[in-house]
Structure 1
């Protein structure tokens, strides 16, 4: 692991630790803890984010962070997107200084499609990214990956303790017991 990845991992661990979550937690508990820490409700909403729209986006108002995630992908991918956007809420939105979607960014149209009744004078801050080249994107990806691995680990352990038919075990290389899941 290079120095940049160590820095990102340490920042993500610190952000997760700052939420004071139990060892085993749910996405709902994570979002509630983020709400408590930021002082704004964090809500999630499935949306039609196809075409040139980002995979996920955060709409920020004075009282709420609304995380939009696509309906046209797998549940696992939806979960990852929600965690990724929550990482931006938790670690980055206080660092951002933009006031809202810039004209021509494509986000204005997405917001108006998702929220057609939004008053025209209300210009919420919108954060959506379509590139993974900047540091904030790498941090959000690492946070989502770390949290998703932690959420999935108990399921993998439970499944490892179940007996699998020999044919399935051979086909999918599922050990009969004891998948070792690294602890965080």
Structure 2
């Protein structure tokens, strides 16, 4: 009997497209592993205007995440642009609404990784990656980084960190993802999927 493929959730928030592109490369790495399917999901923007509401379905791109996505996934990659060295409020708002899943242990024991994009080279890539790990650790997820067996970590002059994949998008958000950044994002997705497969005994 064939087992269904593992669902690996790639959950991201992207304002100008850089974090979304990283998410797509991570998904590429996930789907390079036999028995794994990437599921891309996003979160709605948070408005400072109390009356503002987001449409039920995004105009384009990945659908909004639902709590069932957390229950159904075997692993999760979480990505956000940097906001003053921290994750964006939209991503934080989503995690603030997952108390029931935290209490029930929905995500406990599943592998996870994080990724980010920043406008400035030293604008908080690593602190953003670390801040995204905090709610994941509270949920009992097991955090994966990138080992230095990836030579790009020693040679990159753009994004890339042992804490997770990253991209330096420039102040206008238009810098393309470099070859090093792409390879590290794909490698992170592949590592996440391979870990999920091993943990499922496949």
* TM-score bucket (shorter structure): under 0.3
| Greater share of residues in helix | 1
| Greater share of residues in strand | 2
Instruction: From the CA coordinates, give the structure whose radius of gyration is larger.
Output: 1
Structure of greater relative contact order (alpha carbons < 8 Å, 6+ residues apart): 2
